Chain A
Amino acid sequence: MKEVRVQRLSFWILFVASLLSIGWSRRGSDFFPQRIALGIVGGLQHTVSAVGTATVGTVRSVSDLRNLRKEYDLLLEELQRYRSVASDLDALVQENARLRSQLGFIENSEYQVIPGKVIAKSDSTIYSSLTINRGERHGIRVGQPVVAYVNGEEGLVGRVLRVSGSYAVVLPVFAVNSYVGARLERTRHEGLVEGTGLVDEPLTMRYVASEAREGIEYGAPVVTSGLSSRFPPGLRIGTVREVSSPPYEPSLVLSLTAIVDFDRLEYVAILSEVVQ
């Protein structure tokens, strides 16, 4: 009987604590316990990500070595060294190309840019978020835009939603609660880009004036409008894949393919204040 009472009591204590916590953190984005928790879990994610990368590299090396032993007994040591060097070189060349493209973007950008790496992606049916290895001590602040350099273009990833000392949570542009003021790059018609909550689903651009229809081409780029202070103008968001005008909407609804391939996203750049 006593056990049941304790059980009920602990349930209600935890239940009320959760309710109070939701109410409290709903007031502002900087809720101290969540900040601490993000620091701890972000650190664990960072460690697991780093260990995983190292382990995969090690496993690949061992596999290569086994094959070499079978085929080249006499030249084992030399061949192993060459293979290892070639493998490392290949990885270095690829990494160099990636970092060069990042650097090129950073140098050409008119914004102060903080490069970062995606260490975790949380995709659930309830929410979507990215965790990056940059936080307050690197100059990251809530609300800063996050972009990525993909296939020669800079594309909008999302914005910083929460920050701890060394890590930050990013609200991606495809999240259901993401809204970005946008315009068609060529015709300059404005609209509002919304996410669907799923990484595989296209973005939706609403409130585009009906007269824009004739000027919209398949594949036309859509960029940030800069009308809100949240995102600077001219950042690419996506390209038009479908145009529709539902009977219940007075304006056009565009379906967009995001510029950023979120499945392959590794590096990002956080835009800090505009360099005067």
Chain B
Amino acid sequence: MNVSAVIVFVAIGSALEIIQNTLLDFIAIRGVHADLILIVASYTAFQFGSQTGQVSGFLLGIVEDAVAITPFGFHSIVRLVHSSILGFARGTVALDYVVIPVLLVIIASGIKVAMVAAVTAVFSLNDLANPVWTISTLIEISYTAAVAPLVFAALRKIKKPDG
């Protein structure tokens, strides 16, 4: 596991999430924001592998859980699973500037939606979490995919895997 990558990307993801919720709250499409934590977690998993990705995803999920109305652990398990799965794609294809970031984020979003639905069903959280199969989910996935190449490019400048 790359500990420095975990620290750097958890700090970046947390900062982006906090800034988005405080200063950039107005940048939303029909009240929906891009899922910046998903982008950071996807980058970390793809570039540094499953082990680093899953720990980063889990910790970023805890940051989300802190101010969420869902039970503590809800986001951490969702982030853990999609980061862990994306980590297996490390080294299979070269990371370009547009197509791969968009694809990774769409795949991660699909896993996230499935996990949210599964955890909601298992723990009977229908009274706490919004339904996932809505137009808002499609907007969020599209918005996140559109933003992904920019965030990936910025993250590449900050930290790349060694070698």
At the interface, yes or no: B69 with Cβ under 8 Å from chain A?
yes
Selected contact of B76 from candidates A21, A128, A201, CB within 8 Å:
A21
At the interface, yes or no: A171 with Cβ under 8 Å from chain B?
yes
- Chain B residue numbers with a CB within 8 Å of A208 are none
Q: How large is the interface on A (under 10, 10 to 19, 20 to 34, 35 or more residues)?
A: 35 or more
At the interface, yes or no: A197 with Cβ under 8 Å from chain B?
yes
Q: Are A200 and B73 in contact (CB under 8 A)?
A: no
Name the CB-closest residue of B to A179: B127
Per-residue interface assignment for chain A, residues 34 to 61, with 1 indicating a CB less than 8 Å from any chain B CB and 0 otherwise: 1001101110110011001000000000
Selected contact of A49 from candidates B23, B33, B61, B137, CB within 8 Å:
B23
- Chain A residue numbers with a CB within 8 Å of B50 are 7, 11
Selected contact of A125 from candidates B25, B67, B134, CB within 8 Å:
B134
Q: Are A37 and B62 in contact (CB under 8 A)?
A: yes
Q: Given A14-B58, A25-B71, A48-B18: A37 and B77 within 8 A (CB)?
A: no
- Chain A residue numbers with a CB within 8 Å of B71 are 21-23, 25-26, 31
Q: Are A199 and B18 in contact (CB under 8 A)?
A: no
CA distance A31 to B128 in the complex (A): 16
Max chain A CB contacts within 10 Å: which of B18, B28, B54?
Answer: B18
- Chain B residue numbers with a CB within 8 Å of A14 are 54-55, 58, 76, 80
Q: Are A198 and B22 in contact (CB under 8 A)?
A: no
At the interface, yes or no: B30 with Cβ under 8 Å from chain A?
yes
Q: Among residues 1 to 34 in chain A, which have CB atoms less than 8 Å away from a CB atom of chain B? A: 3, 6-7, 10-11, 14-15, 17-26, 31, 33-34
Q: Are A126 and B123 in contact (CB under 8 A)?
A: no
Q: How far is the CB of A262 from chain B (nearest CB, A)?
A: 9
- Chain A residue numbers with a CB within 8 Å of B127 are 177
Q: How far is the CB of B120 from chain A (nearest CB, A)?
A: 9
CA distance A261 to B14 in the complex (A): 28
CA distance A170 to B44 in the complex (A): 32
Q: Are B68 and A45 in contact (CB under 8 A)?
A: no
Q: How far is the CB of B103 from chain A (nearest CB, A)?
A: 20
CA distance A33 to B119 in the complex (A): 20
Selected contact of A121 from candidates B21, B58, B72, B134, CB within 8 Å:
B21
- Chain A residue numbers with a CB within 8 Å of B132 are 125-126
Q: How far is the CB of B88 from chain A (nearest CB, A)?
A: 10
CA distance A183 to B47 in the complex (A): 56
Q: Given A20-B73, A126-B116: A199 and B31 within 8 A (CB)?
A: yes
At the interface, yes or no: A162 with Cβ under 8 Å from chain B?
yes
Q: Are A34 and B84 in contact (CB under 8 A)?
A: no
At the interface, yes or no: B2 with Cβ under 8 Å from chain A?
no
Name the CB-closest residue of B to A49: B22
Max chain B CB contacts within 10 Å: which of A18, A23, A25, A122?
Answer: A18
- Chain A residue numbers with a CB within 8 Å of B77 are 15, 18-19, 22
Per-residue interface assignment for chain A, residues 97 to 131, with 1 indicating a CB less than 8 Å from any chain B CB and 0 otherwise: 00000000000000000000001111111111101
Q: Are A18 and B58 in contact (CB under 8 A)?
A: yes
Q: Are A18 and B66 in contact (CB under 8 A)?
A: no
- Chain A residue numbers with a CB within 8 Å of B19 are 48, 52
Selected contact of A129 from candidates B68, B73, B81, CB within 8 Å:
B68
CA distance A187 to B21 in the complex (A): 40
At the interface, yes or no: B41 with Cβ under 8 Å from chain A?
no
Q: Are B22 and A123 in contact (CB under 8 A)?
A: no
Name the CB-closest residue of A to B37: A124
Q: Are A127 and B18 in contact (CB under 8 A)?
A: no
At the interface, yes or no: A253 with Cβ under 8 Å from chain B?
no
Q: How far is the CB of A115 from chain B (nearest CB, A)?
A: 19
Q: List 20 A-B contacts (CB under 8 A).
A: A15-B81, A18-B58, A18-B77, A18-B80, A22-B119, A38-B67, A49-B23, A120-B25, A120-B67, A121-B21, A123-B28, A123-B31, A124-B35, A125-B130, A126-B116, A131-B21, A176-B131, A197-B134, A199-B31, A200-B30
Given contacts A10-B51, A14-B80, A37-B62, 12 further A-B contacts (CB under 8 A): A3-B51, A6-B51, A7-B54, A37-B72, A40-B66, A45-B18, A48-B18, A49-B23, A123-B33, A131-B67, A169-B69, A199-B31
